[in-house]
Amino acid sequence: MEFLGNILTGFQITFQPINLFYCFIGVFLGTMIGVLPGIGPSATISILLPVTFKIPPVPSIILLAGIYYGAMYGGSTTSILVNVPGEAASVVTCLDGYQMARQGRAGQALGIAAFGSFIAGTFSVIGLMFLSYPLSKFALAFGPPEYFALILLGITILSYLAQKSMWKALMMAVFGFLLSFVGIDMITGKARFAFGISELMDGVGILPIAMGLFGVAEVLENLNLSEGRAIFKTKLRGLLPNRQDWKNSWKSISRGSFVGFILGIIPGGGAVLASFVSYAIEKRCSKHPEKFGHGAIEGVAGPESANNSAFGGGLVPLFGLGIPPSVVSALLFAALMMHGIQPGPFLIPEHPDVFWGLVASMYLGNIMLLIINIPLIGLWVQVLKVPQMVLLPLILLFCIVGTYAINNSFFDVGIMMFFGVLGYLMKKFEYEAAPLILAFVLGPIMEQSLRQSLKLSGGSFLIFLTRPVSAILLILAGLVLVSYFFFKRKREVLDKGEKKV
Amino acid sequence: MRRLGSEVLGSLFWMGVGIFFALGGLKLNIGTLRNPGPGFLPLIMALILVFFSLSTFVNGLIRLETPVKGIFWSRQALMIASVFLYGLLLDWIGFLLSTFILMFFLFGLSIRGKSRWPKVFLYSLATALAAWVVFSWALRIPFPLPRLRTIWM
């Protein structure tokens, strides 16, 4: 009964006009930037975060979350119509979605993507509701050693799942930790790595870093692209998938929802991996795998469901444990902190309005998205026609003003540009930015829990192994590391084999 | 002579970062294991970074690898420079005018084609006005008052 009461309260909160308004703005903006290639949800959330300082915490979290799951919806439109992914999580949608468009079935592809996203979004909200609450009760018993071990495990899994090399991902995580140490030490009050610069005393902000790595770096990279986007000219008739389409794709949607949710919980899993895994599963489960890549509707329905569902999954550890598993949830973590709310197991009992309000807003947001996306698809096709070369300067301007607005100082803009250049080079040298951001956000908690644990144990590292939960977490982290080296050999052999073929 | 590949160059950079933080950590109080000081974890992390980059470095030297391709600088450098110039201009001539100049420059940089300048002018004018309405008027972001005006008046 407690549950029902909570969710009803959530809906009461969401139905307040201000929250409805911000929910709509969020999903609308999200769809827009999802449609536009070149700017992703991480950059948009960072740009809009300073704006949310002035509104209360509940609508700002609703707004920021809306941007993300809205972008997951919008990303599919670009993939299907232009064969260019609007978001990294829509890369696989290009494979079959664009083929469907070429066969005159663009409407059905867009429709199944929207409905699949809706179903998966709803599924993941229900999962979130049922999982985070018990998880947070369990995590109340966590002490500093458990938290330290949990963060180590999280970072290890995140690096393990890195697309390029685990080694490099770990390096980026370590660099993220180091960056988080800049500023005044919370325990002793001593300034670290600030070099007497007053702006650095409070530490480097997450927003200039995120806008630099995800906004400016993207602009710098795309500056040399030649204009070559051709929207597939087709009349969009029949946006509603027919009975056969539904028959073909309902299983894919269910599988995608489930897989996406589970992968969303895992650090570094997230929407991108979820969509790829879902595509692979659909191809394997299909009775006619040869149709994949030639316009199989399952290849659109599965991944598009999975990337939406991953968002709800990603919120489980954020609200249950206070540990964000992905870049976007790390940004939500930062947003909560900036509003004076400490994410962690105490969040749901202390700020039920934030959690239940967000959950209820995601139900409504998914319905809004269905309305925004299906009848208004023509509008998004128009948005797509804005050339990239006009967009890039605008994105840069948004980043500059957004960063400036945090402290009304140009110092942060300088930091952002620094990370923009760094991010550009990191892309070229194949270092990933996600571990850096996550480690940066988790750095303070990790340091505090390590120092407290060592104080508790009188300087002995054995404390991490004598407490059962932290011991299990650390053993898991060790297994992940070992399995990397074990499978690395195999992977290399396989790679060489494939190249020869 | 073989050109240095991406692994070697990248790892050298991160090694430098690691050494920088390690030295900084040493200067801070490291404390004891019983009571770790503010320099404790920075030093450990920095050493881990140095170790990782060292292994990447060696790995890069052993394997024959291709040099990094596709790093372009000309437009990028102009774009970066324009942002810093914008920071200076903002102080002197205010948000509206400096944003127009920045956008004119940026659009000129990104839009290509022979007869682009009228387009560039129009776009940057529209952007500057819209940005002023949204950021300065509606969102009330306090941009610095132009110094030139205060000098004149």
Chain A hits for B79, Cβ within 8 Å: 219-220, 223, 396
Chain B hits for A421, Cβ within 8 Å: 76, 80
Would the CB atoms of B84 and A417 count as touching at under 8 Å?
Answer: yes
Q: What local confidence, expressed as pLDDT, does residue A396 receive?
A: 92
| Cβ-nearest to B80 among A421, A429, A458 | A421
pTM of the entire predicted model: 0.88
Chain A hits for B142, Cβ within 8 Å: 408
Cβ neighbors of B118 (< 8 A, separation 6 or more) are none
Which uninterrupted H or E stretch holds A183?
A: strand A183-184
| pLDDT confidence tier of residue A499, bands split at 50, 70 and 90 | very low
Between B70 and A361, the higher pLDDT residue: A361
Dump pLDDT digits (tens) for A266-318. 887 778 888 888 998 998 888 888 888 888 899 999 999 998 899 889 999 99
Residues of chain B where predicted confidence (pLDDT) is lower than 70: 1-4, 64-70, 149-153
Would the CB atoms of B87 and A408 count as touching at under 8 Å?
Answer: no
Q: Would an 8 Å CB–CB cutoff place A333 in contact with chain B?
A: no
Dump pLDDT digits (tens) for A65-74. 999 888 888 8
Cβ neighbors of A500 (< 8 A, separation 6 or more) are none
Cβ neighbors of A46 (< 8 A, separation 6 or more) are A206, A207, A210, A211, A214, A215, A331, A402
SS3 content of chain B, % helix, strand, coil (to 5): 70, 0, 25
pLDDT at A231 over 70: no
| Cβ-nearest to A192 among B10, B28, B34 | B28
Residues 370 to 389 of A: which have CB under 8 A from any B CB? Answer: 389
ipTM entry: 0.91
Q: Would an 8 Å CB–CB cutoff place A171 in contact with chain B?
A: yes
Between A498 and A245, the higher pLDDT residue: A245
Dump pLDDT digits (tens) for A143-185. 899 999 999 998 998 888 877 788 889 999 999 999 999 988 8
Q: What local confidence, expressed as pLDDT, does residue A237 receive?
A: 63
Q: Would an 8 Å CB–CB cutoff place A178 in contact with chain B?
A: yes
| pLDDT confidence tier of residue A498, bands split at 50, 70 and 90 | very low
Q: Would an 8 Å CB–CB cutoff place A192 in contact with chain B?
A: yes
Q: What local confidence, expressed as pLDDT, does residue B134 receive?
A: 86
Would the CB atoms of A428 and B68 count as touching at under 8 Å?
Answer: yes
pLDDT at A42 over 50: yes
| pLDDT confidence tier of residue A377, bands split at 50, 70 and 90 | confident
A414 CB neighbour count, 10 Å cutoff: 16
Would the CB atoms of B135 and A413 count as touching at under 8 Å?
Answer: no
Dump pLDDT digits (tens) for A262-277. 999 888 777 888 888 8
Q: What local confidence, expressed as pLDDT, does residue A118 receive?
A: 87
Question: Could you tell me which of A398, A498, A488 has the C-alpha nearest to residue A47?
Answer: A398
Please give the backbone phi and psi of residue B35, each rounded to the nearest 5 degrees, phi first: -140, 80
| Cβ-nearest to A413 among B6, B14, B83 | B83
Token pair in block for residue B64 = 């024959």
Chain A hits for B56, Cβ within 8 Å: 167-168, 171
Distance from CA of B143 to the nearest CA of A (A): 7
Q: What local confidence, expressed as pLDDT, does residue A226 receive?
A: 60
SS3 content of chain A, % helix, strand, coil (to 5): 75, 0, 25
Cβ neighbors of A368 (< 8 A, separation 6 or more) are A23, A24, A27
Distance from CA of B148 to the nearest CA of A (A): 19
Question: Could you tell me which of A63, A115, A127, A117 has the C-alpha nearest to residue A312?
Answer: A127
